[in-house]
Structure 1
Amino acid sequence: RHSLKEVAIDIPAQVCITRDNVQVGVDGILYLKVLDPERASYGISNFNFAITQLAQTNLRSEIGKITLDKTFEERTNINAAVVTELDKASEPWGVKVLRYEIKNITPPHDVLAAMEKQMRAEREKRAVILTSEGTRDAAINNAEGDKQQVIKASEARRQQQINEAEGQAAAILAVATATAEGIRKVAETIQQPGGVEATQLRVAEQYVKQFGELAKAGNTMILPANVADVAGMVAMATKVFKTVERPK
Structure 2
Amino acid sequence: MIINYISQGVLGILAIYTLYKFIQSIQLVPTQKAYIVERLGKYQKTLGPGFHALLPFFDQVKYRQDLKEETIEVEPQECFTKDNVKVEVDGVIYLSVTDPVNASYGITNYRFAAVQLAQTTTRSIIGTMDLDDTFEDRAMINKEVVSVLAEMEQAWGIRVHRYEIKNIVTPRTIQNAMERQMTAERERRATIAKSEGVKGSTINDAEGEKREIINVSEGEMQRRINEAEGVAQEIESLAEATAVSIEQIAEALNSPKGKEAMQMRLAEKYISQLSKLADDKNDIIIPTDITNYDAIMAGLSLDKISIVPEKESAKNSG
Give the TM interval when normalised to the shorter protein. 0.7 to 0.9
Q: Secondary structure at the match of 1:162?
A: helix
Question: Could you tell me whether the CA contact under 8 Å between 1:214 and 1:221 is conserved in 2?
Answer: no
Aligned length: 243
Q: Is the 8 A contact 2:73 2:91 kept in 1?
A: yes
Report the residue type matching 1:128 in the other structure.
T
Instruction: Write the distance in 2 (CA, Å) between the matches of 1:41 and 1:213.
Output: 139
- Structure 1 38/206 Cα, relative in aligned 2: closer, same or farther at 3 Å? closer
- The reply to whether residue 85 of structure 1 matches residue 148 of structure 2 is yes
Superposition deviation, residue 242 in structure 1: 5.4
TM-score (norm 1): 0.77
Residues 203, 21 of structure 1: alpha-carbon distance in 2 compared, 3 angstrom cutoff: same
Q: Which among 281, 299, 304 is matched to residue 244 of structure 1?
A: 304
Whether contact under 8 Å (2:70, 2:96) holds in the other structure is: yes
Q: Select which of 202, 218, 240 maps to 1:155.
A: 218
SS at match of 1:65: coil
Q: Distance in 2 between matches of 1:156 and 1:172?
A: 24
Deviation at 1:46, TM superposition (A): 4.5
- SS of structure 2 residue aligned to 1:158: helix
Could you tell which deviates more after superposition, 34-43 or 54-63?
34-43
Q: Where does 1:46-125 land on structure 2 (aligned, <5 Å)?
A: 46-89=109-152, 91-125=154-188
Residues 26/213 of structure 1: CA separation in 2 closer, same or farther (3 Å cut): closer
User: Is the counterpart of residue 127 in structure 1 residue 190 in structure 2?
Assistant: yes
Q: Quote the Cα distance in structure 2 between the aligned partners of 1:128 and 1:243.
A: 96
Contact kept in structure 1, 2:252 and 2:258, CA below 8 Å: yes
| Aligned counterpart, 2:94 | 31
Larger gyration radius, structure 1 or structure 2: 2
The structure richer in strand per residue is 2
Residue identity in the other structure for 1:203: L
- The Cα of 1:105 is off from its aligned counterpart by 0.5
| Maintained 8 Å contact 1:204/1:238 | no
CA distance in 1, matches of 2:95, 2:256: 134
Structure 1 gaps, min length 5: none
Question: Residue 81 of structure 2: which of 9, 18, 25 is its match?
Answer: 18
Which one-letter code corresponds to 2:304 in the other structure? V
Give the superposition deviation at 1:25.
0.4
Tell me how far 1:112 sits from its aligned partner.
1.5
Q: What letter is aligned with 1:241?
A: S
| Partner SS for 2:300 | helix
Q: 1:117 to 1:233 in 2, by over 3 A?
A: farther
Quick check: 105-114 or 45-54, which moved more? Answer: 45-54
Give secondary structure in 2 for the equivalent of 1:217: coil
1:142 aligned residue: 205
Aligned CA-pair RMSD: 3.3
Q: TM-score, normalised by structure 2?
A: 0.63
**Larger RCO (CA within 8 A; separation ≥ 6):** 1
Q: Residues 214 and 233 of structure 1: is their aligned pair in 2 closer, same or farther, counting only changes over 3 Å?
A: farther
2:104 is the counterpart of 1:4: no
What aligned pairs does 1:157-176 form with structure 2 within 5 A after superposition? 157-176=220-239
Distance 2:275 2:150 in 1: 134
Answer yes or no: is the 8 Å Cα contact 1:17–1:60 preserved in 2: yes
**After TM superposition, where is structure 1 displaced by more than 6 Å over at least 4 residues in a row?**
none
More helix by share: 1
Distance 1:208-1:84 versus aligned 2 partners, 3 A rule = closer
Closer, same or farther: CA 200–109 of 1 in aligned 2, 3 Å: same
CA deviation after TM superposition for structure 1 residue 63, in Å: 1.2
Identity %, equivalent residues: 46
Query: Residues 10 and 30 of structure 1 are in contact (CA less than 8 Å); yes or no, is this contact kept in structure 2?
Result: yes
Once the two structures are superposed, residues 22-46 of structure 1 have per-residue CA deviations (whole angstroms, 9 ceiling, x without a partner) of 1100112233444556655555554
Would the aligned equivalents of 2:114 and 2:149 in 1 still touch at CA under 8 Å? yes
2:58 paired residue number: none
**Change in 2 beyond 3 A, CA 1:45/1:212:** closer
